[in-house]
């Protein structure tokens, strides 16, 4: 089955899941008590009074990880159409992919040598 | 152009959802909500792909755009200082520039769709977007562009590391200024 | 799609969702009992015999607790976070085949919600979107520790997604298809014993490690590392919204166990399933195959819990080093070796 109609059950399952989640969240907000006080509506944070808010910049390392992830993810995606056709393509296709992997590895080693994966410094 | 009544209704609903979400992306005041709406837009575009039976493209659109690039966007937003005072001002100059470039893009798209839609409608090749047929085309007819894209990735990696490292040198400063505002 | 098939699928989806939720509820009990067993304690034993009603009491309590939304939080995003986490957890199971076909009322009934061309990629796609539930929740809480938990979680999940994808590619090279149904059926050789783990031991270890990291389970549970981050990304949550985050984790564990059973342990295949008797009794075959599938899933879930109560937590730099410097190169080598091996010895 490789037609669009095969996705109707997935759509149904998404609807069921969303329906359940919305219903449960709605019910729990109605069933529980609601006694709001000024202190209770404060952030808990770590138990002591919180200072300022949580809207300040994070380390650039996370950003670098995310950008490298995007690049590598696209490269990994490219392997899927190859893997599916692997048996038909034989040695020729394998060499093509090895070339691609070599370029991938060159980038990977460069990134590694530049210390993008260092988290303890 | 086919008449409205001839267009299948799932397509109409999906298009409505995608356009609505896309409009919310540009009109919302909160950048995080914009990103969320953009994710929804990508989902509906994936559904469009599924309707065209381009299943692999649909899921790649989800994994790469909704799953990877949007995470990057969220990280960038969290990297920025999202306090009210630092919100960028919207000036008319930017709006006009954006409108002009978007208009040009629209022109290119309409032109390309007008010329190619005839061809697509006459030769509906079922299963072009399935992973197997896509792989065959990619690794035979488009082998050289495929290998070249690897070099493109290499360049992108070098660029990313360069940017990241330059920021890392200033990182201690930004962190201190960040803390000061807290 | 004809109406009867649609009805059949709807029933299957409702049953599957109910089972998933039931299992998630009872995994909390299982976790506590396993922890108690490993630490030589009794565990919950008050509600009902051996405490088997404990999870029901817990779930009921979740509904009746006061719902707190901090004043500084972004209200709608705060509510959306756990909702998203739960929805993404619930829909991953759609492409998993749970057993061989049953014959009921003269119809062949497939125990799989949707057998799509891209099966395994659908799971990868939903997993990659699953990051948002945690990220949005942690950010919307307006709590520094939640924010750190959320960022750690998303960073960790995206890092391990790469090696997970690479490990899968070796499997797809062997199967030539992304459909989970086909991946299972190709392991039915050797009287139902030709499991992929025999050909992909390294790939299995890589995939299992990544699955631990993707589900935020110990030793990769840094997003909720209480010694550094209070409660992690769900510090500010209460009532059902907290419950959803916890349930989502258990559902993810359940689904990833199912995926691992299918991809590496032959799914619902069991030894001597090709016996002649089964071909005339498809319903018995179906029932046993479902039981076998769930036995394999339970094995993985126990493994998850065993690891959680045995191993200490990684440090964040160790976690990132492992993901980027060890798993990705290993997964690449595994992929190339698989390709080379198959080309040279032609399987």
A117, pLDDT greater than 50: yes
pLDDT in tens, B149-171: 888 888 888 888 887 776 555 55
Q: What pLDDT is attached to residue B89?
A: 59
B176: confidence class by pLDDT, cuts 50, 70, 90: very low
Q: C257: closest CA among C14, C30, C9, C11? A: C30
Q: What pLDDT is attached to residue A18?
A: 92
Using CB atoms, pick whichever of B59, B62, B71 lies closest to residue C158: B71
Both tokens assigned to A49:
């009074």
How far apart, in whole angstroms, are the C-alpha atoms of residue C149 and residue C229?
Answer: 7
Within 8 A of B79 by CB-CB distance, chain A residues are: 57-58, 60, 62-63
A22: confidence class by pLDDT, cuts 50, 70, 90: very high
| C129 interfacial to chain B (CB closer than 8 Å) | yes
Percent of chain B predicted with pLDDT > 90: 12
Q: B142: closest CA among A76, B133, B120, C176? A: B133
- Half-sphere exposure (Cβ direction) of A106: Cα atoms closer than 13 Å: 13
Going by C-beta distance under 8 Å and a sequence separation of 6 or more, which residues neighbour residue B88? none
Distance (Å) from the C-alpha of residue B135 to the closest C-alpha of chain A? 4
B180, pLDDT greater than 70: no
* Chain A stretch 31-90, residues whose beta carbon is closer than 8 A to a beta carbon of chain B: 51-53, 55-64, 66-71, 73-75, 77-78, 80-82, 84-85, 88-89
- DSSP state, residue B61: I
Here the ipTM equals 0.88
pLDDT in tens, B98-138: 889 999 999 998 888 877 766 666 555 666 677 888 888 88
B175: confidence class by pLDDT, cuts 50, 70, 90: very low
How far apart, in whole angstroms, are the C-alpha atoms of residue A38 and residue C53?
Answer: 37
Query: Which one has a higher pLDDT value, A72 or C1?
Result: A72
Q: B126: closest CA among B56, B54, B57, B60? A: B54
**Contact status, residue C162 vs residue A73, Cβ threshold 8 Å:** yes
Helix axis angle, B143-181 relative to B131-140, nearest 10°? 110
Burial code (b: 16+ CB inside 10 Å, e: under 16) for C180-207 equals: bbbbbbbbbeeebeebbbebbeebbbbb
How far apart, in whole angstroms, are the C-alpha atoms of residue C127 and residue C215?
Answer: 9
Q: C182: closest CA among C263, C101, C108? A: C263
Percent of chain B predicted with pLDDT > 70: 74
Q: What tens-digit pLDDT sequence spans chain C (347 residues)?
A: 678 888 888 888 899 999 998 998 898 888 888 889 888 888 888 888 888 888 888 888 888 888 888 888 788 888 888 999 999 999 998 888 888 888 887 778 888 888 888 888 899 999 888 888 888 888 888 888 888 888 888 888 888 999 999 999 999 988 888 888 888 888 887 777 788 888 888 999 999 999 998 888 878 887 777 777 777 788 888 888 888 888 898 999 999 999 999 999 888 888 887 777 777 888 888 888 888 899 999 999 999 999 988 888 888 888 888 888 899 999 999 999 988 888 888 65
Tell whether domain A4-113 is in CATH 1.20.58.1610.
yes
| A108 interfacial to chain C (CB closer than 8 Å) | yes
B3: confidence class by pLDDT, cuts 50, 70, 90: low
Distance (Å) from the C-alpha of residue C93 to the closest C-alpha of chain B? 16
Q: What pLDDT is attached to residue B50?
A: 85
Using CB atoms, pick whichever of C94, C147, C166 lies closest to residue A54: C147
Which phi and psi (to 5°) does residue C109 adopt? -115, 120
B178, pLDDT greater than 60: no
How far apart, in whole angstroms, are the C-alpha atoms of residue B129 and residue C139?
Answer: 37
| C1 interfacial to chain A (CB closer than 8 Å) | yes
Cβ within 8 Å, pair C125-B30: no
Q: What pLDDT is attached to residue C254?
A: 92
Both tokens assigned to C120:
């395994």
Q: What sign results for the dihedral spanned by CA atoms C164, C170, C171, C175?
A: positive
Using CB atoms, pick whichever of A84, A96, A103 lies closest to residue B132: A84
B88: confidence class by pLDDT, cuts 50, 70, 90: low
Give the H/E segment covering residue B166: helix B143-181
Using CB atoms, pick whichever of C116, C122, C154 lies closest to residue B71: C154
Both tokens assigned to C311:
């191993």
Within 8 A of C321 by CB-CB distance, chain A residues are: 117, 119-120
Measured in residues, chain C has a length of: 347
Residue given tokens 């199912």 in the structure block: C258
**Contact status, residue A119 vs residue A61, Cβ threshold 8 Å:** yes
Mean pLDDT of A45-64: 76
How far apart, in whole angstroms, are the C-alpha atoms of residue C264 and residue C38?
Answer: 27
Q: C152: closest CA among C316, C321, C323, C327? A: C316
A59, pLDDT greater than 80: no
Domain ranges of chain A: 4-113
Residue B164 CA: distances (Å) to CA of A8, A110, B9, B169: 43, 14, 47, 9
Question: Is C107 in a helix, a strand, or coil?
Answer: strand
Q: What pLDDT is attached to residue C219?
A: 84
Q: What pLDDT is attached to residue C319?
A: 87
Both tokens assigned to C105:
């009322």
Q: Which chains touch A (3 or more CB pairs under 8 A)?
A: B, C
Residue given tokens 């990103």 in the structure block: B35
Both tokens assigned to B143:
């082998």
CB pairs under 8 A between B and C: 61
How far apart, in whole angstroms, are the C-alpha atoms of residue B171 and residue C10?
Answer: 53
Question: Out of A24-28, B67-71, B129-133, C261-265, which region has the weakest mean confidence (pLDDT)?
Answer: B129-133
């Amino acid at each position: 089955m490789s037609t669009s109609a095969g996705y109707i059950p997935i759509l149904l399952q998404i609807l069921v899941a969303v329906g359940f989640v919305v219903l449960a969240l709605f019910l729990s907000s109605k069933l529980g008590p609601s006694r709001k006080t000024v202190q209770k509506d404060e952030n808990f944070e770590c138990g002591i009074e919180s200072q300022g808010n949580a809207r300040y910049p994070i380390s650039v390392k996370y950003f670098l990880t995310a950008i490298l992830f995007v690049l590598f993810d696209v490269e990994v995606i490219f392997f899927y159409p190859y893997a599916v056709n692997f048996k038909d393509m034989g040695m020729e296709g394998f060499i093509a992919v090895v070339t691609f992997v070599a370029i991938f590895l060159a980038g990977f080693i460069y990134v590694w040598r530049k210390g993008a994966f260092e988290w303890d410094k | 152009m086919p008449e409205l009544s001839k267009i299948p209704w799932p397509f109409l609903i999906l298009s409505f959802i995608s356009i609505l979400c896309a409009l919310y992306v540009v009109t919302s005041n909160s950048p995080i909500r914009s990103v969320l709406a953009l994710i929804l837009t990508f989902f509906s575009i994936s559904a469009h792909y599924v309707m065209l039976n381009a299943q692999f493209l649909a899921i790649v659109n989800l994994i790469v755009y909704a799953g990877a690039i949007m995470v990057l966007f969220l990280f960038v937003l969290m990297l920025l200082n999202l306090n009210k005072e630092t919100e960028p001002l919207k000036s008319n100059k930017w709006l006009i520039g954006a409108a002009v470039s978007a208009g040009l893009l629209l022109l290119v798209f309409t032109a390309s769709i007008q010329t190619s839609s005839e061809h697509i409608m006459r030769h509906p090749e079922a299963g072009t977007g399935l992973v197997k047929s896509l792989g065959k085309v990619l690794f035979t007819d488009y082998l050289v562009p495929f290998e070249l894209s690897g070099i493109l990735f290499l360049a992108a990696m070098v660029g990313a590391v360069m940017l990241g490292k330059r920021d890392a040198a200033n990182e201690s400063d930004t962190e201190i200024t960040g803390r000061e505002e807290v | 799609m004809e109406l009867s098939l649609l009805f059949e699928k709807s029933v299957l989806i409702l049953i599957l969702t109910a089972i998933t939720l039931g299992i998630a509820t009872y995994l909390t009990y299982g976790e506590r009992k396993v922890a108690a067993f490993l630490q030589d304690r009794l565990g919950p034993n008050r509600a009902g015999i051996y405490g088997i009603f404990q999870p029901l009491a817990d779930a009921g309590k979740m509904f009746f607790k006061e719902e707190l939304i901090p004043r500084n939080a972004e209200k709608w995003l705060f509510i959306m976070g756990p909702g998203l986490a739960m929805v993404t957890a619930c829909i991953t199971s759609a492409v998993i085949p749970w057993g061989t076909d049953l014959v009921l009322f003269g119809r062949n009934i497939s125990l799989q919600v949707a057998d799509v061309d891209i099966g395994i990629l659908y799971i990868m796609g939903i997993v990659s979107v699953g990051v948002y539930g945690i990220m949005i929740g942690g950010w919307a809480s307006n709590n520094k520790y939640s924010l750190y938990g959320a960022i750690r979680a998303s960073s960790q999940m995206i890092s391990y997604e790469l090696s997970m994808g690479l490990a899968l590619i070796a499997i797809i090279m062997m199967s030539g298809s992304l459909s989970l149904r086909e991946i299972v059926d190709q392991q039915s050789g050797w009287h139902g014993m030709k499991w992929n783990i025999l050909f992909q031991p390294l790939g299995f270890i890589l995939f299992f490690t990544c699955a631990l990291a993707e589900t935020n389970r110990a030793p990769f549970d840094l997003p909720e590392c209480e010694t550094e981050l209070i409660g992690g990304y769900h510090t500010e949550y209460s009532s059902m919204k907290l419950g959803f985050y916890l349930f989502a984790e258990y559902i993810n564990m359940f689904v990833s166990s199912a995926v691992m059973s299918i991809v590496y342990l032959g799914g619902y295949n069991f030894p001597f399933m090709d016996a002649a008797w089964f071909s005339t009794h498809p319903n018995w075959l179906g029932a046993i195959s479902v039981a076998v599938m769930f036995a394999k899933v339970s094995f993985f879930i126990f493994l998850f819990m065993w690891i959680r109560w045995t191993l200490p937590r990684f440090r964040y730099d160790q976690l990132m080093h492992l993901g980027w410097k060890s798993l990705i190169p290993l997964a690449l080598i595994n992929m190339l070796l698989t390709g080379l091996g198959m080309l040279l010895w032609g399987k």
